[in-house]
Amino acid sequence: MFNSQRPSTDDLPTNGQLLRATAIAAIAAGAILVTVVLPSEYGIDPTGVGRVAGFTQMGEIKQQLALEAAADEARVSAEAEAPQTVLAGNPDSTASDASGPSSDVTTLTLAPGEGAEIKLVMAKDNIVKYDWSASGGAVNFDTHADAPGISYHGYGKGSNSGGEQGTLVAAFDGSHGWFWRNRSGGAVTITLRTQGNYTEIKRVV
């Protein structure tokens, strides 16, 4: 036995009312898509409302980060097969006697959008003190390492940096160093100073 009464037919919405509600919901969803979702996720702002509200800037940052992540992934995949240039004896690098602790000053210039990588060959637990600076603009950087069987080991990364200094302790026998990408509108010169226990310094082309 049920205490509730069946609704009257007059209380139910008509087909016209249902269609009107559906149309209103579709219009509202479309408006949210155009003014909020597209600007904030993809940086697409056909109405201009997203930029006024700050959503477009958010979407543009997301797209830039996605492109950089894809570029970094492609770089890591290709790194093992890339030819390498040993910088010892290079005019842009000042190297010490290989029989003792190494000390180098390495410079390289990056055009807008260009990336470059310097690696030190180090044994596990070896220590290197480093100091690098960017002249002419800021760069994105990724401090990491690799070895046979290890495609990537991260030590730290950052963006829009003018320089970093610190101590790098090798997590394993392999190549350890830095990747920089120039995201400014002009040429940037990187000056890297390294001092410690490594047997070779090289630029990954």
Could you give all domains of the chain from N- to C-terminal order, each with its CATH number?
14-77 (no CATH), 84-204 (2.60.120.680)
d(C-alpha 167, C-alpha 170), whole Å: 10
Nearest Cα to 151, choosing from 77, 70, 204?
77
Q: Please state the pTM of the whole predicted model.
A: 0.59
| 29-67 tens-digit pLDDT | 777 877 877 777 777 877 877 677 777 777 666 666 666
d(C-alpha 101, C-alpha 178), whole Å: 20
| 111-145 tens-digit pLDDT | 999 999 999 999 999 999 999 999 999 999 999 99
